[in-house]
Amino acid sequence: MEILFATIVFIYGLMLGSFYNVVGYRVPNNLSIVKPGSFCPKCNHELKWYELIPVFSFLIQGGKCRKCKCKISLFYPFIELTTGILFLVSYLVFGFSLEFIISILTVSFLVIVIVSDFSYLIIPDEVTFTFSILCVVVELILNGWEYALSSCVFGVILFLVMYFIMYLGSVIMKEEALGGGDVKLMFFVGAVLNVIKPLSLLNVSSYITLLNGFFVIFLSSLIASPFALLSYFSKKERLIPFGPFILIATLIMFLTSFDFLIFFKVLS
């Protein structure tokens, strides 16, 4: 039974990954995610159902459009497979639980941001707001209003911290240091991290758990640094999208239930 559930979750992730490709490409271009149906961007051939099977259609067609024979980007099956694998990992770590729902929401947000931010350097507000609201609503339904409220507080504080970093960076560098989309998604990050170690709104000492949020910023910078160095030494003037790295760091912390406060316990 466990294998059956794991397989269903994986397949479900593959299918959603295919949909997230559409969302990541169309929303930044102000296009409907419903109409028209999926089509080849080269010849506008409307894809049939058997050309839309995640990963397998790509392999069967040899990575080419069935009609015009133009190559299909590897990015499409990569996103589908990544979503499926991360959904499966989320299930294996948490089973069916609140943490599982929050984890797959984080995965879903991540893969959409990977598509949109790497393709257009945009994190659509519609996507950020949708996932932030979903995260808080799930916590409200499953854990009550106080839990959801503390997630909102965590999110607002991290939003303000990231906004200050953006402002300070802009003053020092005399140019935009961070995108507004990176700042806005910090609310979602706060709501997710609150599941690991919830804030107690009436206990001031519990606000030290906000260090988990600061650690996400540090970890995301660490993960992004090789890409930034590669861009610098290749002498290509290409901006590095930071949003995906923030969400990757958040997902790592969430899947491992990593609490930065463990360092204080070890030192003490």
Residue 63 neighbours by CB under 8 Å, 6+ apart? 71, 72, 74
Q: pLDDT tens digits for 32-81?
A: 887 777 776 666 667 776 767 888 888 888 777 777 778 878 899 999 99
Bond prior to 36 in cis (omega within 30° of 0): yes
Mean pLDDT, all residues of the chain: 86
| Among the listed residues 176, 124, 100, 98, the one whose alpha carbon sits nearest the alpha carbon of residue 20 | 124
What is the C-alpha to C-alpha distance for residues 58 and 43, in angstroms, rounded to an integer? 17
Q: In this predicted structure, which of 71-85, 114-128, 159-173 has the lowest mean pLDDT?
A: 159-173
Average pLDDT over residues 83-97: 96
**Token couple for 185:** 């998604």
Which of the two residues, 44 and 167, has the higher pLDDT score?
167
pLDDT value at residue 152: 94
**Token couple for 78:** 């990569």
Average pLDDT over residues 2-14: 93
Confidence of residue 201 (pLDDT cuts 50, 70, 90): confident
Q: Identify the three-state secondary structure at position 95.
A: coil
